[in-house]
Every structure is written in structure tokens, then in C-alpha cells.
A and B are shown apart, each in its own frame.
Chain A
Amino acid sequence: DTGVSQDPRHKITKRGQNVTFRCDPISEHNRLYWYRQTLGQGPEFLTYFQNEAQLEKSRLLSDRFSAERPKGSFSTLEIQRTEQGDSAMYLCASSRGTPGEETQYFGPGTRLLVL
């Protein structure tokens, strides 16, 4: 399978615990994005990388969230001290192309439930 993959697909955790998600993009794509989606809403942008550089973070992104893409390949998203409001689907997407004309391809997502 040459698509975007994410791991784990589901995560249940208790409030206050830390969680880490992984995303493996399509191999030739140099840009990688993280989104969060809650029921009835469209994907909400969190952050994106071009190669290993994190170029933009949403102003809505709490400092409990951190993302890395150490070698410009896979990426991890960590949420520290989880809260019930963090419960959502976390989507990863990858792309390549020119600004405003590229297409993002999404992974299957990681569904997080914080109890």
C-alpha cells in the first residue's frame, strides 16, 4: 500500500495521560499535515511540515501539542496531559506541488477518546 498510513487507528486514554500518534506519508511527498476533526465539522488545521521543517502551526494549537518530522519522512504528533476536549479524529495528509494547486491525500486517521 503506497498511501498515507497512521498508527494507531484507535486510542483510548485517561485524562492527564500523554499520547503519541505516527504518520507515514506517501514516499515522494515532501509536505505533511496534521488535522483534527470532530463530529459534524470539517478538518481543522493543526500544523504542517515541508521536509523536516515545521513551517506553520495553528494559533488554536495548545502548547500541550507538539509534532516532529525528524528526517523528513514519518511524523509524530504528541499530546501531553490529555483533556476530554482532545477527543477527536486526528488526520494526517501528505502532498507535493505548488502552493494553492496541490492535492492533499489523507491517511485513515487516529480516533482518540479521552476518558
Chain B
Amino acid sequence: QKEVEQNSGPLSVPEGAIASLNCTYSDRVSQSFFWYRQYSGKSPELIMSIYSNGDKEDGRFTAQLNKASQYVSLLIRDSQPSDSATYLCAVGSGGSYIPTFGRGTSLIVHP
């Protein structure tokens, strides 16, 4: 049983701070890792994907992957109230087209 674990939160940060969202996974052969943002009542929207160990930056977002520790994180710099949403971690394994989703972490950025 492949599992993806996320703290459901909510994680509350002040505007302008760095928000750090974490995700652990159980399947050691996982190869692809995705972060989706989901606003209340809306569908998931892809923010970033990462496939190799290390950091990947895109604007205010940085994904960090550590396969040895089976850990992936998302950092959001200069957090804005518009970043308030649920962030879903999804993990894909080689040979499978079906990623496993975590339950998401609720982020609240307060002014």
C-alpha cells in the first residue's frame, strides 16, 4: 500500500514569511513528485514537479526532494494571502501512471 503523508494543518504564517510544507512517502521506488494547490471548492492546480534529489526553484516556490529520507517539501517565499489554500503532495512510481495523493495541508497566510 503506497502512502503519502501530509500534516493536515492548518499551517498559519504571516504575510511575507516563508511557508514550509512537508510530505513523506512510503514507496522507495517513487520517481516523480508533484505539488498541487487547491483553493476551496476548486480543482487541484499544478504548482511544481520534481524528479531529482535537491532543490528546484520556480518564482517564489522551491521544491526540495530527498529520496534517501523519502521526503519532499515545498517552500513558499514572501507568502501572500492569495497563497491561502490546501497544498496536495502527489507521488508517482516508475511503471505506474497513477500517482498517490496525500490528504493535503491547509495553509493560511494572514495579513
Contact = CB atoms under 8 A, between A and B. Distances in A.
Contacts of A107: 43
A107 B42 CA distance: 9
Given A106-B44, A109-B43, A31 B97 contact: yes
Interface stretch (A14-22, A41-49, A69-77, A80-88): A41-49
A101 B50 CA distance: 9
Contact of A41 (B34, B99, B103): B103
Interface in A4-19: none
Interface string A38-68: 0011111100101000001000000000000
Contacts of B95: 99-100
Interface residues of B, number: 29
Contact of B31 (A43, A56, A100, A109): A100
A102 interface: yes
Q: Which of A95, A99, A100, A104 has the most CB of B within 10 A?
A: A100
Interface stretch (B11-19, B58-66, B69-77, B86-94): B86-94
B78 interface: no
A43 B99 CA distance: 10
A100 B43 contact: no
B42 A103 contact: no
A100 B96 CA distance: 6
A91 interface: yes
18 contacts: A40-B104, A41-B104, A42-B4, A42-B88, A42-B102, A42-B103, A91-B43, A100-B92, A100-B95, A101-B51, A101-B92, A102-B92, A104-B46, A104-B99, A106-B45, A108-B42, A108-B43, A109-B43
Interface of A: 31, 33, 40-45, 48, 50, 56, 89, 91, 95, 99-109, 111
